[in-house]
Structure formats: structure tokens, C-alpha cells
Copies of this chain bind each other. A is one copy, B any other.
Amino acid sequence: MVTLRQLRTLAEHSDVYRDSQRIAIIDMGSNSWRLIVAEYVPHLSFKVVDEVRESVRISEGMAELNVMRPAAMDRAARVAQIYAAFCEAVGIENVVAVGTSAIRDARNQKRFLERIQRESGIEVRVLSGEEEAYYGYLAAVNSTTFDSGFVVDLGGGSLQICRVEDRKLVRAISFPLGAVRVTEGFLHSDPATAKELQNLSSHLREQFEALDWFRQEPGMMMVGEGGTLRQIARLQQKRADYPLDILHGYVMSYSHVSTIRDELAELTVGGRKKIVGMKTDRADISLGGAAVVYEVMRASGFEEMVICGQGLREGLFYERFLATNGDSAQAGDPPVFDHVRRASVLNLCHLYRFQEKHAEHIVRLTLSMFDQIPANRHLCGADEREILWAASMLHDIGVSVDYHDHHKHGSYLVLNAGLPGYTHREIALIALLVRYHRKGKPTTDELDELLEDRDDKRLVQMCALLRLAEQLDRSRDGVVHDVRLAVNGNHARMELLVTGDEQVPLWAVEHHREIFEQAFGFELEVVPVPEGE
């Protein structure tokens, strides 16, 4: 595993940003083919810098004989040529192309691969079902706080189910039950008939009931991946007028899936295309997909599924990004972040070129104060401590947009980047802390529905600490090395351990004592103490 120390050490050399590399990953799925270009500095930061998607649907008409049809092969060959030309024009030499279910199962696979190779020069690596499942697992475990449970990856051609324990993959299976496949195999009418849906359900139940290791156990979560799942989640977000524009981390309930499946079943393909949030080229397979998701949740007994916006492509990427493991890695260990949340905060920090020294000093001051607030005044616990850590690290990233209103820009960046590993409640709180780290009365605004009871008060407490810390380091020179807090009844005496001129911090804090006093109900006295005394 990669340690935080490694990330840190690299970050201290700002020249490291110049050693960025690029890789193109082509995912030749049964429904769509995608090409992503990722730019990364090994172990430090990464981002997708380009993306192309084509609906190729190579699995079209394969249901019967498992033979790729000539028309589908022609479409595929053309797109392969274009992707190859694209990579060449853009100047990327490192191209990884993988084929999944449709290519894997096609009886004419060999002729197809030869044609692709001949016409585009692309060497396709055909993944086995287990390999496909493994990369889906890598994506989930590197982008969520997933510890034990199942990863369900629903593609156009196949469905992968992984069982994970202590972040390790312990079982994996692949079924030919992708959204395109089940649609072609079972749902011939438009709209589908009750009988067709009944047959599909029976078929799915038979398959899943045989999997005795696929049942919910205490402490387990279910993570869902794949374009069809993202499509269903997007429909649910639109219906609910969800306040965030992020799919990753979205929690979808069994009853939502059930409702969406029933509603799609009522409609023709044409009718489904008109639903707000529906991608036109997914409308036909959306009902089959929803049916699979519904039966997956039913069979395993999960009430909720957490959507993962990443998948196979990202799994292939992590394998390379985390390739050279650190000292702590054992041979055979999967390429997995030590700590997903930290990695995702640090990634954002580096992408926006944060001022590392100042950010870490703010972390030191906020957490020092946090830990010294007496328990009987604290509304916050360990969860909020980690939220405060993240907000302290990220509070200034908005400066990369503009100094003016950088608190607003930073909040925008956090809400749009999404911070994999944090729940949407946590992301909302981090964004609000960034938003109010300088001024303004902290309010939960339109993010309210993501929050828990009393989070408005927790927000004010965390905000008070962050704002005071920011003022103590207003000159960004770390002159206030640490603080000591002594509480006596309603009176709090805060000693600033200073290593130099205390004028700026004392002046700066003056304007912001009020929020602290209101948040904790103290009267605050601030006293500079030269360090060593």
C-alpha cells in the first residue's frame, strides 16, 4: 500500500508536477466503447483530461448464436481506427485496450481481434470474467471507504459480483446477464409484456439463489458500478430533485430501484427516452438493467446500494498509478490506497496547487483546538474531526480560481470534484466549511437535506475553529505555533504559543472571536505567550 508519507514527501518537490505522464485506456464494452486519457504523477495526483464515448453495441444480435454480427464488427473496426488515430494525433504512446463480455464470449473472437489489429494497430487484451470483476473491485476499493461486502458491476454484456472482506477480494463471478444481453434475451415486445418480465425475473432468481456466498452479513455494504446503474441512479436523483450533481457516493434504496423498474415497465422505448435524465441510447436497455439490479438487491438482502462512479477503466488505471508499492507492501498485495479519504483530499489539494505549509499549519491549529474543547461543549466527534481535517487542508483551493470570493470558488470545487471516500453529507459539510472559512454566517442553505439533525450546530462549531485558525495564521508564517485552551466555567483562556511578532494574529483574531463565543458559549480571552514560557 502507498503511505501518506510517500505522498507527502513527493509533494514537497513542486517540480514533481512536471513529471506527469499520460495514459489512454480503451474499454471495449458490449454496449459502448470509451476512451479516457488520464494524466498523472505517479503516487501523487491524477485526473482525467479527455474522454470519448461511442455507442458501438458490438453485442447486438449475439444472444442467439454467440457470434458477432458483420454490421457490429464494421462499427467496431471503424471506432477502433478512430481511437487509434486520436491517440496518435494527441501523442499518447501508452495505450491500454481491453475487451469484455461480448468479445470474450464471441465464437468469432479470433477473427475479430485480428481485424482490429490489422485495421487499427490496437492489441486488445481480452479480460476473463474474473479479471473484469477484479478491476471493478480495484475501482471500488480505491474510491470508497468500502471494507467488506459486495461490488456489483453491471455492464452491457455481463454482470460481475465480487465479495470483499477487509478490503481484499475473496470471491468473484461473472454472469452473462448484462443489460443488452437480458434485453435481447427476454424483452422482445415494446412495451415489454408481463410474461416476458416474469420470465426474466425467474431466470435471474435461479442464478442468484445458487450463490450461497452472496447474502448480506452485518457490517457489509453493497457498491454498484457500471453505466446502467449510473443511469438508474441519475433518474432517481432527477426525480428527487437531489441537491448535488454527483453520482459517486449516492445512496440508492431497494424501494427506489423497485419503483423505477415498475415505471420503466409501463413505457415503450420511445416513452422512456422522454424521461428527464435518460440517455437516449440507454433507453432500450434501461428496463432490463433495472430488473437485474432489483433482483441483485432482492437476492442479497441489501436495502441500500452505494453508487460508484468509477469502474473497469479506473481499476486499470489504479493498477498503473499505484504500481510501485511502498515498503509496507507485501508481494501480491493489490494496488490499494492506504487511506482513500486522505488520498482523495490530497489529490484535490495537488490538482489545485495548494499552499502545503499553510494548509498543514491550519490542520495543526484546528485539530489542537478541537481536541482541547471540553466534551460537555462538543457536539462533534471523530467523524467531524476528519471532516475538519479535510476542510482545513482544502480551505484555500479556491484561490486557484480567483482570490476574490475564493471561499465561494473553493466550495464550488469541492462540490464538483466530489471527494471519493466521503459521503455526500460529509462532502456537503466540507464544502460549507470552505464556504464560511473567512466570513458570513454559516448556514446549510440548499444542502440542508443532505445533513443530519444538529449538523447546523456542528457546522458552526467546526467553522468557528477553522476561522480562528485561519486568522491566527493570517500572515501565513506559522507565527502562532500552537494554542493552549484553559476553560473555567464560561470563560475560555486561549494562549497563543508564538515564535515571533504576535501583532498580526492578535489583530486578525479580534474580528472573529464572536463566532467562537457563540459556537461554544464561552467568553474568550486571547493571550500571546512567547514559546518556551
Contacts and interface: CB of A to CB of B under 8 A. Distances in A.
A273 to B, nearest CB: 15
Nearest to A36: B403
A415 to B, nearest CB: 11
A476 B47 contact: no
Given A412-B412, A504-B85, A477 B400 contact: no
B475 A403 contact: no
Given A49-B403, A82-B504, A412-B412, A89 B479 contact: yes
A431 to B, nearest CB: 14
Interface residues of A, number: 37
Nearest to A49: B403
A209 interface: no
A345 to B, nearest CB: 15
Given A90-B475, A501-B89, A47 B82 contact: no
A338 interface: no
A399 interface: yes
A503 B82 contact: yes
A449 interface: no
A241 B194 CA distance: 52
Interface in A451-507: 474-477, 479, 500-501, 503-504, 507
Contacts of A479: 89
A50 interface: yes
A86 interface: yes
A49 B85 CA distance: 42
Contacts of A181: none
Nearest to A502: B85
A403 B51 contact: yes
Interface in A99-135: none
A417 interface: yes
A373 interface: no
A89 B508 CA distance: 14
Contacts of A78: 507
A445 to B, nearest CB: 15
A476 B507 CA distance: 52
11 contacts: A47-B402, A49-B399, A49-B403, A85-B503, A86-B474, A89-B479, A90-B475, A90-B476, A401-B413, A402-B416, A409-B416
Interface of A: 47-51, 78, 81-82, 85-86, 88-91, 245, 399-405, 409, 412-413, 416-417, 474-477, 479, 500-501, 503-504, 507
